[in-house]
Structure 1
Amino acid sequence: MARPERDERLARACVELADTLADGFRPVDFLQVLNDHVIDLLGVDASGVVMVDGLGRMVDATASSDAAHRLEELWTECGEGPCHHCPPLLRHA
């Protein structure tokens, strides 16, 4: 992908994400827009977001497909997957 095209797509993604932060902000909407842009910008088949709750447990926040959602749930239940391998500072920030 040509860099100007990539830069334009990235700029559009940032603007759209910022727009979700307006009145009536709903975190789930922001995360879904983020998922959509991750798929587009990275050229992947699916995307998901796992977050840490107030007790330090990882929970599935949103996913782009049912299959991605099931995979995230399995990872959080089993204590496996890429989120469990991120630096502890990021996991418990």
Structure 2
Amino acid sequence: GTGVRCALVCPGVAATGFQRYSGFDQYPRITRWTNCTPEQVANATLRAIARRTHGEVVVPWYGRLLDIISTPLPGVTRLVMRLVG
């Protein structure tokens, strides 16, 4: 092997100015429980680098729950989005 590793960092909704311009701030219920800070994303990325992680790094960790649930139960995803969106 070449020793090269690749990781995909999947931040949830990070509390940055981007929300203002994306229109995502119009969904306060979803951002209240999904927001993470830029520092959390940076720390998770640095941890992944230090651990030589490859694959996906999901920030915040609970962001992976909906992904895991949505594969076998796609209706749950729609329900959650309806409730929080």
Higher relative contact order (Cα pairs below 8 Å, separated by 6+ residues): 2
What's the TM-score once normalised by structure 2's chain length? 0.31
Q: What TM-score does the superposition give when structure 1 sets the normalisation length?
A: 0.29
